Structure formats: structure tokens, C-alpha cells
Chains A and B, each alone.
Chain A
Amino acid sequence: MTTEFKESIHQAVNNANLTGALGKFSEAYKVNRAKAYEGIDFEELRGRIAELKSSAAAHLDELSLEFARNAEARGAKVFRSSNPAEIREYILKVARDNGVKTVVKSKSMATEEIHLNPFLEKAGITVGETDLGEWIIQLAGQTPSHMVMPAIHMTKEEVSDLFSKEVNERLTADIPRLVKVAREQLRPMFLEADMGISGGNIACAETGSIVLMTNEGNARLVTTLPKIHIALVGIEKLVEHYRDIAPILKALPRSATAQLLTSYVSIISGPTPNPDGSLKELHIILMDNRRSEMAADPKFKQALQCIRCASCLNVCPVFRLVGGHVFGKVYTGGIGTILTAWFDELKKSEDIQGLCIQCGNCKEVCPGKIDIPELIMEIRRRLVKDQGLPLLQKAIYSVVNNRKLFHGMLRAASLAGKPLASGGLIRHLPLFLADLTNGRSLPAIASRPFRDRFREISQPKLQEKAVFYAGCLIDFAYPEQGEALVKILNKAGIEVVFPEEQTCCGAPARYNGAYEVAAGNAVDNIKALLSVDAAYVVSACPTCTVALAHEFISTFESLGQDEWLPKARELAAKTVDFSTLVKKLVDAGRLTLKEGAQLGAITYHASCHLKRTLKVAAEPRELLQKAGYQLKEMFECDSCCGMGGSYSIKLPEISGPILQRKLHNIKESGAATVVMDCPGCVMQIRGGMDQDGATIRVRHTVELLADRLAD
């Protein structure tokens, strides 16, 4: 990570205005979005959008031609180009041919993408942004920090300072008054402008129409008052049929701003008469700029399903801390990372792709059904493929890929960590590693890992067997969680087998783009875990479970290695997370929890991989309640704890505040214990509580249930 990038993060997280505004907005957004989608089957709707957009993406060339034919038949001039410089020149030529002196613009990310404003201004043309947010950042000399709300990072005081300079009058930070000032200032600009430039929210091939959506009404003025209208549209906005407009109009405002519909929607199909009776000159520019290449990429073609609602930004725990500017100058947030890698260059995304903590929030709300976290991982993989791993990581992974050496080092660390540990937690680390324990204590490595303790557990000899996949954290930091799991399964009549050749699940390597390393881990684990004939492979770590159940397969697929695919699928089919298995056993009457006790209040932290990838939410809660605990839900129970594997090590300045927010929400719940299904989250949250000095107990579900087994 560059120093400059680290510095921009540092500035952002320490900007109280920014984090305050974004934090408040993200909380309100969640509630309002849910309300806007009331009574709508979101999965069905986004399924339709994904289908029509992916079908359009597969036929970009045909649809561009069809659009051009139909729009031209209505009298529009259509210019197709792949080259930003050529597009800028085209617009300048239209302006020069018509003696254009001033241009009014309604918000268009495509024009931001080709940096049109500075280009036109350099040519002596005055360009006025008319969307209030865009105008604010234009006056401030900044770039948009959010696709839908460009000036979300600014306070009303900052805006009033800017406007005061503009009107030469000291204005107070009264928002309705500031909006009125903008109306008064921009109105003459609209009336005098010779040319209007807009983007396009949708371009419909069947009718040659463009669809524009605004709330302020500026797109209506931009397309009505000047005699020339140029619409710059990225070809990913193309849809085939006229009827395809409806589902996008349904989802876009709901996902973008939690509105049922924006105040104004215009479907423009060919030129219309000007107020003086002449016919408007309508130019539509279809811009490719690497979109066709993206469509030809088996992984990234999916990104063309984006309808530019920016909901991936609104739900992102990292975006709400750092805002948009850390991401760069044009597209921001999750989808912005992907668009930057393509429309700018892969190299440009090197730093920003590291901002993704892989919590999966964005994937859950994306109306285009884009697997944004997966695509960001693919960027990582390609970066690593192109540039190789940083030396330190290379050294780490060469160890991780050698199980004996790796486990040997973990054992050694248990000794080395002793002087620093107290009460089972490491509170401080020396010098350059200090950031690791910033706001969070780390668990001391257990003096005897689970693999050693397992040999001493005396289990009954039972017919039914389950293979236990411990994962590094339970094996080396929390062996007691593994012991609890054995106790529970034995009670249900299942004997636990622990193949010692099992090793790291490969998630750390994979999340850092080192897919070859992850594939090596996958092969070792497949061999170990399938060496025993068992009904289940159970894990009490959701990240490991996801690796076994999904990622071994996708890692092999990404690398084009199919030798181990059948075995990976066999393993995936047997893999189950702890709570799901136990719930099944309880439901089948094979396991009984002591009921009737009043054990007090707990709150449940829903881990990212469990909730959003494995889709397990009710099971642990039901089990804990059955065991006698009273469940008090915390605010944002399913928002990330900030751990994200090595994320907390690489970006402690972001991971820290995310953790603090989680700790706050846990404490606010009033429960004395917080429970979760993930040892990684236990490590993060227990460490945070320790540094915080709070007395709240942090437990894995497996530990609480093991104490409540009925005879």
C-alpha cells in the first residue's frame, strides 16, 4: 500500500464531519430502503434485472447498432466510440460548430469518467454543473465522493462558505435558504446556455430512447432550454426492449435513495421542438471505453449488470468510515473499485481493492445481482498474477503451504508470546507490530493445540462418524471450542474424527489474491478430510466452512485446475457448519438441551460468512434460546466486526473503528454476554472488549451449548 493512500485513509477516518455524516446516512438508508421495498419480492425483481442486463451485455454490439438505427430514424445523431479522447473532441466540435459559449450539465458519471469539464473549460467554454451536489463540488474544486450523492462528504457550513463567496453575501448554514440560492444562481445559467449535456440512466435499443432520472428537475431543464442536447451514455446502460425500462425504474430509485420513483423521469426518443419552434439538435454518444472487453471477460461481464444505484456504497462498513475520495476521482465504493480497475487500469485499483473487507453486505443488496466481493477478489488474484506477492507475504505463504513447518511455528509462537500475554490475551506487541493490538488484544497461542488435546479425549466408540475441521484459530488459539464440539456430538451419538493432516483452509491466501497457495491448501485438506469415511465434515468456523463448501471449488475453477474438482465437490456436499448440524440433531430428537433454566440475556453477533454466504441466521439463535438464554438483539447485529482475517492487520485504522462500533452496539444491547459462531469474530471482539475494559463475556455458541446438554 502506498504511503499516500495510507495517508488519505488516515485523513478520512479522522474527519469527524465525514464519518459522522456517512454513519448517520448509512443507518437511515438501511431502514428507508427496507420501507421502499415493502411488498416487493426483491429477489424476483433483481433476478429479472440481472437477466435482462446480462443478456444485453452479451449483445452490446448488436444493441448499440439497433439503438443507433432507431434513434437516427427519429432524427437523433448517434456517435459510437471507444475512445475518451475522441468523444471529448466530438463534443467540442459540436460546440464549436454551433458557436457554443456556455454549457449546462445534469449529473453524468460518464462525463466524469472522461474528465470532460476541464477539457471544455480549457477550450474556453463555460461549463455549469446543475445538479446541486455536482455544483457544490464544482465550486469547491473537488470530485464526487458518491455516485448518487456527490457532495455527501460536505457539511452545510462548508456549503454556506462556498455559496457566500459565490453571491458575495454572508449566508448562514440554513439548508432551505442555501437551496434557494442555488436555484437563483443556476436559473440564469439554464436560460443562457447554448448546449445541454446529460448522461443517461437507461438506453433502450428497441426504441432508440434514453431515460433520464432526477429529483431536482435539472435534467428536464438541460434537455428543454438549450437548442442542443448531447447525451453521453455508457453502453452498459443499453437494454433490449422498451418494457425492460420498468424493472430498472422500479429498483433504481428504491436502491439509490429509498424513493418509489425519482421526482422526474424523462423518456426521450428523438429530437423535440425548441421553444422557438425549431427542432432540437440531439446527439447521443454511445461510449464503450473497455465495456466490450469487460463483456468478453467470463468473470467481469457480470459487472455490466450494474444500474449505478450506489447501494453497495451505502451498506459498506468501510465506505461509511472513509467516504469516497479515498477510492479515487470518479467511481467509488465496491462497484467503483471494479469500474476503476477496468475503465482506468488494473494497476489503479491496487490500493483500493484492499479496502474491501469481504463482509458481503453489498452482494446482498445489489439490484443487479453482482457478486462484488468475488469480483474484487478476482482483481486481487489478477494483480498477484501480474505482479507477484509482496515479499513478506510470499515468505508467510511458503510457510502456510508447508503444514508441518506452519504448525511448528505456531507452537513456537505459543512460547514466544508468553512474556507478552496475561489472562490469555496479548495486550501489547513491540514496535512495528503495535498496530496489531491497537484497540484489540490478541489471543495468546494455546500452550497445547487442539490436535494434541484431541488425542486425550476419550470418546465412546460409535457407528456414526463426523470429521471435525478445526481451522487454525480453534486448533491453536481456542482448543476449548473444539473440545466443546466433541462433547456435544458425542452426546448425539456421533464420534468425532480429527485427521491430523488437515491444515489452514487457504482463506488468508485467497483473500490476498494468492490463489495458487489457496489451491495447495485445498488439495492438502481434501486429502485429509476425505481420508475417513464419515457422514459429515463439520466446522465451527464459518470462514473455514465457506472455504470447504464453496471456495475450494471456485479457487480451482479460477485457476482452471480441474483435477481436484470432483473431490472438492464431494467434500463440499458433506460440509456443514456447527449450528446447522446441531439444530438438525436437536430437531431429530438425537440431542436434548436442558430446558427451563433462566440463564439471562445474551446478544448474538451474526458473522459475515455465516449470515451472508452460508445463509445461517435462525439456527444458533433458536438453539441458544432453547438452552435457556434470553435473546436481546443488538443494533446492526449482522454488520462486520472488522476482523476480516488479515484485513485487521493490513488496515487497522479502518478495522479499529468498525470494531469500536460493534463494541458499542453490543454494550447498548444491555446483555452480559455476546455470542457468535466464528472464532475469528471471538478473537476480534474479545480482544476489543479486553482493551475496552468492559466486563461483557464473549463466547462461541459451541461453548454455551456444551454446558447445557441434558442426560
Chain B
Amino acid sequence: MYEQFKTRAEAVSAEVHRFGAKPAALNFILDFLKAEGVADAPQAYALWADCPFLDGLDLPSQRELPGLKFQVTRELAAMAKFGISQAGWALADTGTLVQDSTAVEGRLVSTLTEIHIALLPTNTILPDMPTLLTLVHPDQSSYIAMITGPSRTADIERVLTIGVHGPSRLIIVCVDELGGAN
């Protein structure tokens, strides 16, 4: 299932990584942010929306990694470069991430930023849409959000261009030992 998901997600320009445990995934994200020049300045900082991944983790302080913030507001999101959130499920046959986005923070960091880093418990990858619809119902979520690759358009001369209103990069970080908690 993972392999199919990865192939399909990469086919629509998402970047897919996989880690066994949380610490390795965290290290990857921190290294990625540093390499991409995260800093405590407009258009350079990262916002991490509250999610199960963060439970019980030792996170770097602002002093250790300036520019990584855990408070999400509309104003902050509007000027952030990176947004980090967790997806609840994924669809293997289309390479799609699925989030319960009832809480607005998850949407803000995954839409207003330039780079969206999405955590995904590897064992929540489902085969397809019909399976998802039997598991996730509007009674549980007022805003079920699906994300397949970065924002794109072909509205000018049918030329595919990445990054219109949403992120121009989507980094998917699959974690095997994250559990299926949503």
C-alpha cells in the first residue's frame, strides 16, 4: 500500500519520505527546515499545528531553532514559509492525504504557506476513496480535506504550473510507529 501511495503522490510532485519511529522523523523535519533556511522572520518561519505527533516529544526551544513556532494564528500563517500538520489518512490509489480539518489551524498552515510538511502514520494508508468514505463521516468532521500534491494550475495556455494559491511544495513524512490516532 505504501509503495503505491508513494508512486502516486510522487507522480503529482509530492516528496515522500518514510521513517520507522518519531525521533528519526523529527530529525528529518528539523534538518529539512534548517537546510531550507528557516529563520525567525516573515516569509521564513515555520508553523507547526498541534497534532498527535507532538505528544510526548522533546522539541527544540526557540533558542535552539529560531523560527519554529507552535502557535498558529491567521496573521502568523499569512507570513509563514513552512506549515507542518498531520494527516489522518491517505489514499494509495491517488496519492492523496486526508485530514479532518474542522479545526482551522490545520488548514491555515497547509494552505497559506509555501512549503507544507505533512506527517502521516504509515498504517493509515487506505486503498481508495470508497474505503475512506466508510471510515470518515461528516458526523465526525465538518471539514474533510483532501490534498493531492502541491497547488497547481494550467489556466494559462494549459501549461502545468505548481504553486498558485496553496503551497508549491508538499513534503510527506510517513512514520511507521506513529499509531493511527487521529
Binding site for B on A (CB under 8 A): 21, 24-25, 28, 74, 130-133, 136, 149-152, 154-156, 159, 175-176, 178-180, 182-183, 186-187, 190-191, 207-209, 215-218, 220-221, 223-225, 242-243, 245-246, 249-250, 257, 259-276
> Complex Cα distance A132/B150, Å?
16
In the assembled complex, how far is the CB of residue B133 from the closest CB belonging to chain A, in whole angstroms?
A: 6
Asked whether, in the complex, the Cβ of A217 is within 8 Å of the Cβ of B151, the reply is yes
Supply 9 further A-B pairs (C-beta < 8 A) apart from A175-B156, A176-B161, A270-B142: A21-B157, A28-B158, A130-B165, A149-B154, A178-B156, A215-B154, A216-B166, A221-B165, A263-B12
Asked whether, in the complex, the Cβ of A133 is within 8 Å of the Cβ of B148, the reply is no
Asked whether, in the complex, the Cβ of A209 is within 8 Å of the Cβ of B138, the reply is yes
Asked whether, in the complex, the Cβ of A224 is within 8 Å of the Cβ of B111, the reply is yes
Asked whether, in the complex, the Cβ of B129 is within 8 Å of the Cβ of A249, the reply is yes
Query: How many of chain B's residues have a CB under 8 angstroms from any CB in A?
Result: 51
Q: Is B145 an interface residue (CB 8 A)?
A: yes
Query: Assuming A183-B165, A260-B8, A261-B94, is B148 touching A216 (CB within 8 A)?
Result: no
Query: Assuming A131-B155, A179-B161, A260-B93, is B143 touching A242 (CB within 8 A)?
Result: no
Asked whether, in the complex, the Cβ of A266 is within 8 Å of the Cβ of B144, the reply is yes
Q: Is B17 an interface residue (CB 8 A)?
A: no
> Complex Cα distance A560/B150, Å?
55
Which label, helix, strand, loop or mixed, suits the secondary structure of the B interface?
loop
In the assembled complex, how far is the CB of residue A583 from the closest CB belonging to chain B, in whole angstroms?
A: 40
Please name all residues of chain B whose beta carbon is closer than 8 Å to the beta carbon of A190 when the two chains form the complex.
165
Contact pattern, B 103-117, Cβ under 8 Å of A = 1, otherwise 0: 110011001100000
Query: Assuming A224-B108, A246-B130, A269-B138, is B166 touching A264 (CB within 8 A)?
Result: yes
In the assembled complex, how far is the CB of residue A189 from the closest CB belonging to chain B, in whole angstroms?
A: 11
Asked whether, in the complex, the Cβ of A217 is within 8 Å of the Cβ of B165, the reply is yes
Query: Assuming A216-B151, A246-B130, A269-B138, is B157 touching A175 (CB within 8 A)?
Result: yes
Asked whether, in the complex, the Cβ of A179 is within 8 Å of the Cβ of B143, the reply is no
Nearest A residue to B145, CB-CB: A266
Nearest B residue to A159, CB-CB: B156
Q: Is B67 an interface residue (CB 8 A)?
A: no
Contact of A271 among B112, B142, B159 (CB under 8 A): B142
Asked whether, in the complex, the Cβ of A149 is within 8 Å of the Cβ of B157, the reply is no
8 sampled A-B residue pairs with Cβ under 8 A: A131-B155, A217-B151, A220-B107, A224-B104, A246-B130, A262-B148, A266-B145, A272-B143
Query: Assuming A149-B155, A246-B133, is B164 touching A218 (CB within 8 A)?
Result: yes
In the assembled complex, how far is the CB of residue B148 from the closest CB belonging to chain A, in whole angstroms?
A: 5
Contact of A152 among B94, B107, B112, B158 (CB under 8 A): B158
Please name all residues of chain B whose beta carbon is closer than 8 Å to the beta carbon of A265 when the two chains form the complex.
96, 145-146, 148
Nearest B residue to A157, CB-CB: B157
> Complex Cα distance A74/B138, Å?
10
Please name all residues of chain A whose beta carbon is closer than 8 Å to the beta carbon of B138 when the two chains form the complex.
74, 207-209, 242, 267, 269-270
In the assembled complex, how far is the CB of residue B171 from the closest CB belonging to chain A, in whole angstroms?
A: 15
> Complex Cα distance A151/B155, Å?
6
Please name all residues of chain B whose beta carbon is closer than 8 Å to the beta carbon of A152 when the two chains form the complex.
158
**Among the interface residues B104, B137, B139, B157, which one has the most CB atoms of the partner chain A within 10 A?**
B157
Asked whether, in the complex, the Cβ of B146 is within 8 Å of the Cβ of A261, the reply is yes
> Complex Cα distance A274/B73, Å?
10
Please name all residues of chain B whose beta carbon is closer than 8 Å to the beta carbon of A209 when the two chains form the complex.
138
Query: Assuming A217-B166, A218-B164, A264-B166, is B157 touching A132 (CB within 8 A)?
Result: no
In the assembled complex, how far is the CB of residue B135 from the closest CB belonging to chain A, in whole angstroms?
A: 12
> Complex Cα distance A69/B48, Å?
37
Asked whether, in the complex, the Cβ of B157 is within 8 Å of the Cβ of A155, the reply is yes
Nearest B residue to A190, CB-CB: B165
Please name all residues of chain A whose beta carbon is closer than 8 Å to the beta carbon of B143 when the two chains form the complex.
223, 266-269, 272
Nearest A residue to B143, CB-CB: A272
In the assembled complex, how far is the CB of residue A35 from the closest CB belonging to chain B, in whole angstroms?
A: 11
In the assembled complex, how far is the CB of residue B15 from the closest CB belonging to chain A, in whole angstroms?
A: 15
Asked whether, in the complex, the Cβ of B152 is within 8 Å of the Cβ of A216, the reply is yes
CB-CB nearest 5 A-B residue pairs: A217-B166, A269-B138, A275-B74, A133-B155, A216-B164
In the assembled complex, how far is the CB of residue A280 from the closest CB belonging to chain B, in whole angstroms?
A: 9
Q: Is B163 an interface residue (CB 8 A)?
A: yes
In the assembled complex, how far is the CB of residue A345 from the closest CB belonging to chain B, in whole angstroms?
A: 31
In the assembled complex, how far is the CB of residue B104 from the closest CB belonging to chain A, in whole angstroms?
A: 5
Asked whether, in the complex, the Cβ of B107 is within 8 Å of the Cβ of A224, the reply is yes
Query: Which chain B residues numbered 63 to 78 have a C-beta less than 8 Å away from chain A?
Result: 73-74, 78
Contact pattern, B 162-173, Cβ under 8 Å of A = 1, otherwise 0: 011111000000
Contact pattern, B 90-127, Cβ under 8 Å of A = 1, otherwise 0: 01011110000111100110011000000000000000
Please name all residues of chain A whose beta carbon is closer than 8 Å to the beta carbon of B112 when the two chains form the complex.
221
Please name all residues of chain A whose beta carbon is closer than 8 Å to the beta carbon of B62 when the two chains form the complex.
none
> Complex Cα distance A268/B143, Å?
5
> Complex Cα distance A154/B157, Å?
7
Contact of B163 among A179, A225, A269 (CB under 8 A): A179
